[in-house]
A and B are shown apart, each in its own frame.
Chain A
């Protein structure tokens, strides 16, 4: 039995693991990827020689954090394992069980006295005509393929969205010799550009977004067309994208003016991020809707404890705020967990950790405000024929028809039960936001009022035969703490 199980080996999980180990806790870290770093610090596989890891500007600390984490023999790593659910051990009230699954080894159970959910975030899915065509990909997906898997699109690329990550991906593509036809931004560019410059004045500022300003200038100098107040309204093609439709929008992201088509073999979409909260939902944690911070986020106290005893949260599921905030929250959450478990934690350590969290929050709050996606406007991009649930093939028309026939439905879970949106393998991760937008529009109510999809074990589907092994404890490694695939 571990003192602490951490789900996620990104900046929050790594910082938490090291802090907890420093305070004498026995720690296990579970991550689906093969190596530590999370999505923001995704690295090439170890078998790729000569592919050195270089973190994004402003995150120079990442290299040292990863190195410390990987060199630390106190922390047990379970890489390549997915956490699929949290169970309470009735016989032992102070014990939590994490069900884990591996693509070749099946299912097992890891027990710990405390749990830290540091599951990160993923690209905000936005449904528009053609978004299911091959060649349409999330910005984070393209970024990790290029930087960690060393492959690049072989044709011309259009990028569209509203988040600065889009500029970093465009720059990465240009740097890899990929022809970038156009970058379409829903916002007007001067406002974010001015904000990026102003961020230099934020005390203890991070340079990531200042770097984004530099990248924007570089893209423009290289002749990349950057179009403000423009959204992608359709992708076209038979078996693969061949062109995309871009449309000018007003300040509220409402279409104005004639749409135009641009030839492209790839469309990269990046409107922001969704906090990955399915494990917290399944565990029974309270959530709150906070649009600028990633939609539904896990409610927590000032020391990152959730509403479920023994379960804490850090990083993006606590509110999407970037890698600095994640690292700071991971450290603070671990101190609180160590103190809860009776380890001595000096008050000065708490003060310092709380200061780091506050410092990161000052910056991220500005960023969240400027780059908040207009969910109502994005919800309008799906036409009646547009597939909004990719897994179960539910169109917007299906949902609208149901809502018209059932005028008292005001909850996304009711839509899920009746229309099957969110019942496929992705379990709602790629349609919840659109369903919420469609429901909100139909009922003329705020998006957060429609609630959220509930999550059940397994939060990521596994072969049904694997579930029989749910009560099998995963052997705890002894001499070799690393368990990479």
Chain B
């Protein structure tokens, strides 16, 4: 799931740490951070397309749906719009 981190957090003025799971693996995020941001900062993989190629967020504003995942059982949730919350469960597989 992880690879070399391609994004890094630039400041530490964030709220309390929360733990979310992405495809079953725990991932530390900061409250208020979006799920997509936490995933980018940890090098977590987003979904793959039908050819098996990786995809990643393109717009970070809710229009491209490349960051969509199943979040707490709700499919096609745009992770760039959802703040990370304790115990949030993110499943990346199964894009439409």
A interface vs B, CB < 8 Å?
A: 32-34, 39, 44-51, 80, 82, 103-104, 122-123, 125, 132-138, 140-142, 144-146, 149-155, 176-177, 239-240, 265-266, 276, 390-391, 393, 424-426, 429-430, 460-463, 485
CB <8 Å contact, B59 and A425: no
- Among B10, B63, B71, the residue within 8 A (CB) of A146 is B10
Residue of A nearest to B7 (CB): A151
B interface vs A, CB < 8 Å?
A: 3, 5-11, 13-15, 30-34, 37, 40-41, 46, 49-51, 53-66, 68, 71-72, 74-78, 81-83, 95-96
| 17 additional contacts (CB under 8 A) given A103-B78, A150-B11, A154-B7 | A32-B81, A34-B83, A44-B32, A45-B83, A48-B11, A132-B49, A137-B57, A138-B60, A150-B13, A151-B10, A154-B8, A176-B10, A266-B6, A391-B96, A424-B96, A425-B68, A426-B63
Residue of A nearest to B72 (CB): A104
CB <8 Å contact, B11 and A51: yes
CB <8 Å contact, B61 and A135: no
CB <8 Å contact, A80 and B81: yes
User: Which residues of chain A are near B61, meaning CB under 8 Å?
Assistant: 33, 39, 122, 140-141, 144
What is the CA–CA distance of A82 and B68 in the complex, to the nearest angstrom? Answer: 15
User: Which residues of chain B are near A485, meaning CB under 8 Å?
Assistant: 83
What is the CA–CA distance of A151 and B29 in the complex, to the nearest angstrom? Answer: 12
User: Which residues of chain A are near B83, meaning CB under 8 Å?
Assistant: 34, 45, 485
What is the CA–CA distance of A253 and B58 in the complex, to the nearest angstrom? Answer: 24
User: Which residues of chain A are near B96, meaning CB under 8 Å?
Assistant: 391, 424-425, 461
Pick the most buried of A103, A240, A462: most chain B CB atoms within 10 A of its CB. A103
9 nearest A-B residue pairs (beta carbon): A47-B32, A45-B32, A134-B56, A47-B15, A141-B60, A425-B65, A50-B13, A149-B37, A154-B8
What is the CA–CA distance of A132 and B46 in the complex, to the nearest angstrom? Answer: 12
User: Which residues of chain A are near B78, meaning CB under 8 Å?
Assistant: 103
12 A-B pairs whose Cβ atoms sit less than 8 Å apart in the complex: A47-B30, A49-B13, A51-B11, A103-B82, A132-B55, A137-B60, A145-B40, A151-B8, A154-B5, A390-B55, A461-B76, A463-B76
Say whether chain A's binding surface is mostly helix, strand, loop, or mixed: loop
- Among B57, B76, B77, the residue within 8 A (CB) of A141 is B57
What is the CA–CA distance of A21 and B47 in the complex, to the nearest angstrom? Answer: 44
CB <8 Å contact, A134 and B54: yes
What is the CA–CA distance of A136 and B66 in the complex, to the nearest angstrom? Answer: 12
- Among B31, B37, B77, the residue within 8 A (CB) of A145 is B37
Residue of B nearest to A151 (CB): B7
CB <8 Å contact, B33 and A154: no
What is the CA–CA distance of A8 and B86 in the complex, to the nearest angstrom? Answer: 29
What is the CA–CA distance of A80 and B34 in the complex, to the nearest angstrom? Answer: 12
User: Which residues of chain B are near A429, meaning CB under 8 Å?
Assistant: 63-64
Residue of B nearest to A177 (CB): B10
CB <8 Å contact, A239 and B7: no
Given A32-B81, A48-B13, residue A152 in contact with residue B8 (CB < 8 A)? yes
Given A145-B40, A153-B6, A425-B96, residue A104 in contact with residue B74 (CB < 8 A)? yes
- Among B5, B15, B56, B57, the residue within 8 A (CB) of A48 is B15
What is the CA–CA distance of A140 and B72 in the complex, to the nearest angstrom? Answer: 28
What is the CA–CA distance of A181 and B86 in the complex, to the nearest angstrom? Answer: 38
- Among A32, A149, A177, A239, the residue within 8 A (CB) of B3 is A239
Residue of A nearest to B60 (CB): A141
User: Which residues of chain A are near B11, meaning CB under 8 Å?
Assistant: 48, 50-51, 150
User: Which residues of chain B are near A103, meaning CB under 8 Å?
Assistant: 71, 74, 77-78, 81-82
CB <8 Å contact, B6 and A33: no
Pick the most buried of B5, B13, B61, B65: most chain A CB atoms within 10 A of its CB. B61
CB <8 Å contact, A150 and B66: no
Residue of B nearest to A462 (CB): B76
- Among A50, A152, A460, the residue within 8 A (CB) of B7 is A152
Pick the most buried of A145, A393, A424: most chain B CB atoms within 10 A of its CB. A145
* Nearest Cβ on chain B to A296's Cβ, whole angstroms: 15
CB <8 Å contact, B65 and A391: yes
* Nearest Cβ on chain B to A235's Cβ, whole angstroms: 12
Given A134-B55, A151-B9, A151-B41, residue A33 in contact with residue B65 (CB < 8 A)? no
User: Which residues of chain A are near B40, meaning CB under 8 Å?
Assistant: 145, 151
Given A240-B6, A463-B76, residue A33 in contact with residue B81 (CB < 8 A)? yes
CB <8 Å contact, A49 and B53: no
Given A50-B13, A155-B6, A390-B66, residue A149 in contact with residue B34 (CB < 8 A)? yes
User: Which residues of chain B are near A240, meaning CB under 8 Å?
Assistant: 3, 6, 54
What is the CA–CA distance of A393 and B96 in the complex, to the nearest angstrom? Answer: 11
User: Which residues of chain A are near B31, meaning CB under 8 Å?
Assistant: 47
What is the CA–CA distance of A299 and B77 in the complex, to the nearest angstrom? Answer: 32
CB <8 Å contact, B68 and A265: no
User: Which residues of chain A are near B41, meaning CB under 8 Å?
Assistant: 151
User: Which residues of chain B are near A50, meaning CB under 8 Å?
Assistant: 11, 13
User: Which residues of chain B are near A123, meaning CB under 8 Å?
Assistant: 59
Given A46-B32, A48-B14, A134-B56, residue A153 in contact with residue B7 (CB < 8 A)? yes
CB <8 Å contact, B37 and A424: no
What is the CA–CA distance of A3 and B25 in the complex, to the nearest angstrom? Answer: 47
What is the CA–CA distance of A82 and B65 in the complex, to the nearest angstrom? Answer: 13
What is the CA–CA distance of A433 and B65 in the complex, to the nearest angstrom? Answer: 17
CB <8 Å contact, B58 and A138: yes
